[in-house]
């Protein structure tokens, strides 16, 4: 006997988008505060800033990337858990992975 696959509610896509947007905004704010604490500067180096060295640019990019990845993963997991609790259906596919 095959078990009927439950359909995920259509509302998860907008919820996921909203959570991603909010998490990205919070990660950006966290990065600004982190960079200010590390370098006492308001602006992080841009890759095309001639006056900044390779190390400074790459360290800033690594910190920013880590913060964004953590924020996105936390938002995705929180959203998926909330959807599962409400509907009984996990929003990801069986094979896992993002996108």
**Model confidence pLDDT, tens digit, residues 11-62:** 678 888 898 899 999 999 999 999 999 999 988 898 999 999 999 999 999 9
Going by C-beta distance under 8 Å and a sequence separation of 6 or more, which residues neighbour residue 83? Answer: 8, 9, 12, 15, 89, 90, 91
Model-level pTM? 0.76
d(CA 2, CA 24): 40
Where does 1-99 have alpha helices with state H? 12-39, 54-87
| Whether residue 1 has pLDDT greater than 90 | no
Q: What is the tens place of the pLDDT at every residue in 67-78?
A: 999 999 999 999
Instruction: Return the half-sphere exposure (C-beta side, CA atoms, 13 A cut-off) of residue 96.
Output: 1
């Amino acid at each position: 006997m095959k078990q009927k696959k439950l359909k995920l509610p259509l509302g998860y896509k907008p919820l996921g988008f909203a959570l991603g947007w909010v998490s990205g905004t919070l990660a950006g704010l966290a990065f600004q505060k982190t960079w200010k604490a590390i370098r006492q500067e308001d602006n992080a180096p841009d890759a095309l800033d001639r006056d900044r060295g390779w190390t400074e640019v790459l360290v800033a990019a690594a910190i920013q990337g880590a913060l964004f990845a953590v924020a996105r993963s936390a938002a995705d997991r929180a959203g998926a858990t909330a959807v599962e609790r409400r509907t009984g259906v996990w929003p990801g596919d069986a094979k896992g992975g993002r996108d």
